Structure 1
Amino acid sequence: MRILLAGATGAIGHSLTPALVEAGHTVFGTTRTESHTGAITAAGASPVLMDGLDRGSVMTAVAEAKPDVVLHQLTSLKAGMNPKHFDRDFAMTNRLRTEATDYLLEASRQNGVTRFIAQSYAGWPAPRTGPAIADETAGYDPHVGREARASLAAIRHVEAAVLAATDLEAIALRYGGFYGPGTGIALDEESEMLEMVRQRKFPIVGSGGGLWSFIHAIDAAAATVTAVDNGAPGIYNIVDDEPASAADWLPVLSRTLGAKPPRHVPTWLAKPLLGEQGVNMMTTVRGASNAKAKRELGWTLRYPSWRIGFTEGL
């Protein structure tokens, strides 16, 4: 198929672009920056300059690529974001999940696109009550930390837009926390998060009971490639098989990096430093189930657990 990959050099684009090419698709990869076009070409795709927040730029890019499928992977993610300033640090990504989503859907409708796949997130938006592992029907946290309310609204926007696009085969892929090549959380890349772990500046807060759902970039790309051809319209969690508490995964990551064990910090002390949402993520968020994606997309994982991925995939 002809595919327009919006965000070809982003956190997942690094792995997704060559995976789509290897699957036999003709890929047009977008970037806002001329200097990034070489990487897109090297991955086997045709570079397209596009600003996702400029309606005219989006309309032109889609019209010229004439894609069968549009993959919306536009984000502005950084590994070292401060949870105390969640919405501030996610402000650009939030615009891409709202404004750019609307522009890409409009352009898709005007140019005969048949399938539309958008990036969403599974890490913390689910309600923090109920079974430990949430599926795609769980809904959204009605008491999300005040620092993350705009970010949750942006996630809800992209998912609502996908579900409302009944004239397209529209899918939202809720990825877990990315790690691996191209994500900024890899041993051969500059990583503020990994450096914090090495320096014991990433503590376990309270019980450390918040369940994190991870996904290696290669597995996220594989799921996305399968979604090009498979799966009914709707929402799918793209996470590994083992949601893990911060108290479990953080010490393993420390050992992987050759660092000392993480410190433990009481909740009352952490809250002024991490904010309400940061404490929620470390103590009370739920994990996500990947059962639907494995069943309906026919997706298999190279790294079914972060335990393997941290050891072999960083």
Structure 2
Amino acid sequence: MGHRIFLAGASGAIGHRLIPQLLAAGHKVTGTTRNADKAATLRALGVEPVVVDVFDADALSRAMLADRPDIVVHQLTDLPSGLDPSRMGEAVVRNARIRDEGTRNLVAVAVASGVRRMVAQSIAWAYAPGPEPHGEADPLEDGASGNRGISVGGVIALEKAVLNAPFAGVVLRYGQLYGPGTGADTAAGASPVHVDAAAYAALLALDKGAPGVFNVAEPNPAVSTQKAVEELGWRADFRLPA
């Protein structure tokens, strides 16, 4: 039996690759976007679109209370198209705000709506320096400087909000994304992951895995993904049909 899914960030790179997986699994999906122009695209994909800004707590509350989802999937980011280097400085600040304030709003509304589980996007390259590969219990680099400090601070706030909530919270620490909609056609970075496989992890986490954190990346020396493979049944080679 399918779930009622509230997909926050449905028009993003992972959202677009997750939607067909959710629908194929029999779930009913309501998807959020801040851009009214993208609502028609979401509807054409089979999603009930909601135009809402996560920073507008009242509007977010109305949307979720009307939908009464079983599970919230948090894929919200605020990054420029193609990760344009000339715009990344300001984007880091905006993205950290979404991870902190936006997540707090989403969690509060989810609790008020009776949500029983939340699956949230995090990153796998926020670990503090130490022996590799990093497991999920390794500390994040709290107190880092510059843009990294801003990013990691946002990640720490997001994870605390989700994991300390009264519902079952699952955090997926994604590696560096590549594939359709990500701005990167090929794998790059210390712990890459294809966007289809990243979305697949979110699908699996709806029903599998105890509350907690999972690294999600292709096999690499930087982070261990053994937990996601064993507990979620995740595969790094998952791809949507062409």
- Same fold at TM > 0.5: yes
* Count of aligned pairs: 238
Tell whether 2:158 aligns with 1:155: no
- Deviation string 1:117-176 (CA, Å, 9 cap, x unpaired) is 1111112x1122223x111011112563423212111000011112211x2011111111
Query: Which amino acid is 1:214 matched to?
Result: P
Contact 1:28 1:48 in 2 (8 A): yes
Distance 1:42 1:177 in 2: 29
Query: Which amino acid is 2:65 matched to?
Result: A
Tell whether 2:209 aligns with 1:231: yes
Contact 2:217 2:236 in 1 (8 A): no
Distance 2:91 2:116 in 1: 34
- Moved beyond 6 Å, runs of 4+: none
Q: Which residue of structure 2 lines up, in the alignment, with residue 29 of structure 1?
A: 31
Distance 2:196 2:123 in 1: 17
Q: Which residue of structure 1 lines up, in the alignment, with residue 83 of structure 2?
A: 80
1:40-55 matches, cutoff 5 A: 40-55=42-57
How far apart are residue 95 of structure 1 and its match? 1.1
2:41 aligned residue (39, 43, 48): 39
Distance 1:72 1:152 in 2: 17
How far apart are residue 87 of structure 1 and its match? 5.3
Contact 1:122 1:176 in 2 (8 A): yes
Distance 2:197 2:119 in 1: 16
Q: Which residue of structure 1 lines up, in the alignment, with residue 224 of structure 2?
A: 289
Distance 1:41 1:181 in 2: 20
Going from structure 1 to structure 2, the CA distance change for 1:82 and 1:294 (only over 3 Å counts) comes to: same
Distance 2:46 2:209 in 1: 26
- Structure 2 alignment gaps of length 5 or more: none
- Secondary structure class of the residue paired with 2:13: coil
How far apart are residue 294 of structure 1 and its match? 0.8
Q: Which residue of structure 2 lines up, in the alignment, with residue 120 of structure 1?
A: 122
Q: TM-score, normalised by structure 2?
A: 0.91
Going from structure 1 to structure 2, the CA distance change for 1:62 and 1:215 (only over 3 Å counts) comes to: same
RMSD: 2.4
Distance 1:142 1:153 in 2: 7
- Structure 1 alignment gaps of length 5 or more: 188-193, 198-210, 244-286, 304-308
Distance 2:18 2:150 in 1: 28
Distance 2:171 2:10 in 1: 17
1:59 aligned residue (58, 61, 68): 61
How far apart are residue 109 of structure 1 and its match? 0.9
Distance 2:118 2:198 in 1: 17
How far apart are residue 86 of structure 1 and its match? 5.9
Q: Which residue of structure 2 lines up, in the alignment, with residue 176 of structure 1?
A: 175
Contact 2:198 2:216 in 1 (8 A): yes
Query: Which amino acid is 1:217 matched to?
Result: V
Q: Which residue of structure 2 lines up, in the alignment, with residue 221 of structure 1?
A: 199
Q: TM-score, normalised by structure 1?
A: 0.71
Contact 1:237 1:289 in 2 (8 A): yes
Distance 2:146 2:50 in 1: 37
Contact 2:5 2:28 in 1 (8 A): yes
Query: Which amino acid is 1:215 matched to?
Result: V
Going from structure 1 to structure 2, the CA distance change for 1:162 and 1:87 (only over 3 Å counts) comes to: farther
The share of aligned pairs that are identical, in percent, is 36
Tell whether 2:7 aligns with 1:5: yes
- Secondary structure class of the residue paired with 1:229: coil
